[in-house]
């Protein structure tokens, strides 16, 4: 009979990882909102996968650890693979993992990972910078300098300015492949124009001061997602495809808008022009039509 295992989240992040970053990574991994992943980092051990084989268990552990979450693989009886199963009556309980193990001195220390398997560290700063630079592509030097300011502030917002985003709004978002924000800016722009045109300038200013940070957050999430999904760690080709800029989407949208404008403006005018010509012909015929008189009955 094949032995089965459980994958357990220990309820904390791996040392050196940012709590918010791990929360966002888990949200991408489990396809849920970041708020719901707080439960996984509450400090309590949670079994997230039961009765799976050893290979699948290790694969899931790798994904979780690459997301920055501390986890472990256990047997059905709660023991850790690679360590002998103990008689719970006689063996001590590990103060770190809560698992009863004999000869467990290495694990029963103040160092929570002293007996763990080698855990993946965060991507090195060099790797992170290379990924980010490759993702940005066009004008990478300018954006890397801006992103460095956000990194220095631990990923929090720092005021910056983006002239293209200020003038182009949704077009810039489309160009940089921030499609969700492009649609949001279109909707917000329509509302502002319809309800409060006086707020048009503040609306553009708001996009100008927030565009760089939105792009920074978007790029980081994309890179983390790709790194978790890639079993080999080679995400270079995918980064180039997912990141960079696109001319096709803005061009297609511009073409679609021109077609809509033509249908909405030009065709009705042509139809009205045709109707006026018909009426003119009718009136002309009425004027030119001869009138016959009769003297009958006089």
pLDDT digits (tens, 9 = 90+) for 185-226: 999 999 999 999 999 999 999 999 999 999 999 998 888 888
- Detail the DSSP E strand segments found in 32-132: 46-52, 69-75
Considering 33-37, 76-80, 112-116, 158-162, the range whose residues carry the highest mean pLDDT is 158-162
- The verdict on residue 60 lying in a domain is yes
Range of the domain at 85: 1-122
74 closest CA partner among 97, 42, 43: 97
Q: Are residues 112 and 162 in the same domain?
A: no
Q: Are residues 150 and 168 in the same domain?
A: yes
Q: Are residues 1 and 117 in the same domain?
A: yes
- The verdict on residue 98 lying in a domain is yes
Q: Rounded to the nearest 5°, which phi and psi values hold at 115?
A: -115, 15
In the predicted model, what is the mean pLDDT of residues 27-33? 83
Looking at the chain, the whole-number percentage of residues with pLDDT higher than 90 is 27
Whole-angstrom distance, CA of residue 166 vs CA of residue 182: 13
In the predicted model, what is the mean pLDDT of residues 281-287? 55
pLDDT classification of 84: cutoffs 50, 70, 90: very low
Q: Which two tokens stand for residue 178?
A: 């921030």
Q: How many domains does the chain have?
A: 2
Domain CATH code at residue 69? 3.30.1390.10
Whole-angstrom distance, CA of residue 177 vs CA of residue 162: 16
Q: Are residues 173 and 100 in the same domain?
A: no
**Mean of pLDDT over the chain:** 78
Gyration radius from the chain CA atoms: 33
Q: Of 78, 106, 122, which closes a domain?
A: 122
Q: Are residues 16 and 106 in the same domain?
A: yes
Could you give the maximum distance between any two Cα atoms of the chain, in Å?
A: 139
- The verdict on residue 274 lying in a domain is no
For tokens 């004027």, name the residue. Answer: 287
- The verdict on residue 283 lying in a domain is no
Q: Are residues 1 and 84 in the same domain?
A: yes
* pLDDT at residue 39 in the model: 86
Let me know: does 189 contact 169? Beta carbons within 8 Å: yes
- The verdict on residue 255 lying in a domain is no
Q: Are residues 137 and 236 in the same domain?
A: yes
Q: Which residues fall within 8 angstroms of residue 44, CB to CB, at 6 or more apart?
A: 11
* pLDDT at residue 228 in the model: 76
pLDDT in tens, 95-150: 434 444 444 444 433 344 433 444 444 555 667 788 888 899 899 999 999 999 99
Please report, to the nearest 10 degrees, the dihedral formed by the alpha carbons of residues 206, 141, 122, 26 taken in order.
30
Q: Are residues 46 and 14 in the same domain?
A: yes
Q: Of 55, 90, 122, which closes a domain?
A: 122
7 closest CA partner among 80, 112, 100, 82: 80
Q: How far is CA 80 from CA 31, 41, 111, 124, in A?
A: 28, 21, 17, 29
- The verdict on residue 64 lying in a domain is yes
181 closest CA partner among 193, 194, 172: 172
* pLDDT at residue 289 in the model: 55
- The verdict on residue 87 lying in a domain is yes
pTM: 0.57
pLDDT classification of 182: cutoffs 50, 70, 90: very high
Q: Of 105, 122, 139, which closes a domain?
A: 122
């Amino acid at each position: 009979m094949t032995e089965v295992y459980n994958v357990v989240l220990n309820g904390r992040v791996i040392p050196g990882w940012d709590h918010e970053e791990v929360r966002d990574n888990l949200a991408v991994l489990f396809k849920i909102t970041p708020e719901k992943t707080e439960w996984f980092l509450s400090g309590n051990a949670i079994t997230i996968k039961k009765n799976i084989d050893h290979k699948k268990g290790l694969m899931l552990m790798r994904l979780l650890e690459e997301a920055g979450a501390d986890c472990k693989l256990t047997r059905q009886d709660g023991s850790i693979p690679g360590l002998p199963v103990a008689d719970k009556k006689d063996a001590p309980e590990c103060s770190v993992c809560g698992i009863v193990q004999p000869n467990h001195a290495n694990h029963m220390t103040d160092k929570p990972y002293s007996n763990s398997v080698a855990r993946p560290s965060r991507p090195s700063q060099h790797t992170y910078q290379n990924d980010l630079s490759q993702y940005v592509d066009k004008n990478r030097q300018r954006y890397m300098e801006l992103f460095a300011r956000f990194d220095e502030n631990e990923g929090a917002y720092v005021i910056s300015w983006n002239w293209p985003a200020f003038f182009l709004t949704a077009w810039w978002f489309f160009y940089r492949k921030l499609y969700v924000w492009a649609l949001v800016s279109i909707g917000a722009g329509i509302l502002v124009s319809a309800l409060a045109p006086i707020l048009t300038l503040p609306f553009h200013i708001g996009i100008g001061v927030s565009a760089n940070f939105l792009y920074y957050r978007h790029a980081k999430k994309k890179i983390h997602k790709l790194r978790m999904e890639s079993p080999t760690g080679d995400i270079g080709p995918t980064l180039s495809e997912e990141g960079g800029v696109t001319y096709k989407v803005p061009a297609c949208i511009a073409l679609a808008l021109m077609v809509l404008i033509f249908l909405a403006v030009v065709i009705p005018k042509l139809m009205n022009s045709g109707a006026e010509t018909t009426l003119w012909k009718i009136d002309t015929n009425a004027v030119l039509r001869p009138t016959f008189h009769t003297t009958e009955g006089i």
